[in-house]
Amino acid sequence: MRTLPTFFISHGGGPWPWMTEFGSTYDKLAASLRQIPASLDLQPKALLVITAHWETVDFTVSGAAKPGMLYDYYGFPDYTYQIEYPASGQPELAEQVLQLLNHKGIQASCDTQRGLDHGTFTPLAVMYPEADIPVVQLSLKTNLDIEQHYQAGQALRTLREQGVLMIGSGLSYHNLRYFDASAARPSKEFDDWLYETLMIKDAKDRHQRLSRWQQAPSARIAQPREEHLLPLWVVLGAADDGKASRIYHQNDLFGGISASSYRFD
């Protein structure tokens, strides 16, 4: 039986795929996102996106059959508030996610009104521009507890054997106060640490080092609040601590910011 990998992706800023104003800034990211479908052995039956842009007290799964759009960004051109990514939802998958979490004693609920936020529709518009694969979203917990998110991923790992592609959508660097050349050093320091850590072959050692991420160089500059890093723990748990490979990296975003994305097999 073929099993899909999981991914942690840096999803970029706002609705960047639609904006010519960004020029070539996101060309490397776009190329890496397009490569993900091409790298898979089979076409996913559905996409489960763990999005950094949705937080709830308990884990919540989106259950709308036809999810709307959430333009959860500010200060962008008017036309970016008319974007459509018309993927369907999949209530059956949402129910299965709910059952898998509850079976492991993880409190979770379903939101049948939730639309697609930009942490979801922005990267998917590049990966699957035809919007022909159903999409379900999973929230983060507002307590931002690393182990609870890792355990949620473990509870969902059997979905990979059923053709569900799990994507953790965040950013390896997310500090909007320092989003220019001033972020070059701290973003590189943290990005280097994250890469070195994820490349550790022993799963136990890697997990222990990841659990101490706040001690990493420039950790709290790179992630003042870790919601954009937490999807990593969910997909790592779902991958059963599988081997990591870096599928995207650049160090010249907005004057020198480093960012990366990873695949787990």
**Residue 75: which CATH number?**
3.40.830.10
Q: How many domains does the chain have?
A: 1
Give the C-alpha separation, 176 to 52, whole Å. 15
Alpha-carbon distance 195 to 184, whole Å?
16
- What would the pLDDT profile of 4-24 be if each residue is shown by its tens digit? 999 999 999 999 999 999 999
Q: Is residue 123 part of a domain?
A: yes
Domain for residue 216, yes or no? no
- Kindly state whether residue 146 falls inside one of the protein's structural domains: yes
Does residue 121 belong to any structural domain of this protein? yes
92, two tokens: 């059956």
Domain assignment present for 193? no
Q: Please report, in angstroms and rounded to a whole number, the separation of the first and last CA atoms in the chain.
A: 14
For 54, the enclosing helix (H) or strand (E) is strand 46-56
Q: What is the pLDDT of residues 57-109, one digit of tens each?
A: 999 999 999 999 999 999 999 999 999 999 999 999 999 999 999 999 999 99
Q: How sure is the predictor about 176, in pLDDT bands with cuts at 50, 70 and 90? A: confident
pLDDT over 70 at 137, yes or no: yes
C-alpha–C-alpha distance, residues 74 and 200, integer Å:
38
Mean pLDDT of 131-139: 98
The mean pLDDT value for 151-166 works out to 97
Q: How far is it, in rounded angstroms, from Cα 59 to Cα 53?
A: 13
pLDDT at position 1 over 80? no
**Mean per-residue pLDDT for 241-255?**
93
Domain membership of residue 75 (yes or no) is yes
pLDDT at 180: 82
- Domain range for 59: 6-182+224-264
Q: Which residue has the tokens 């072959």?
A: 201
* Residue 86 within a domain: yes
How many other β-carbons are positioned within 10 Å of the β-carbon of residue 97?
27
Does 214 fall in a domain? Answer: no
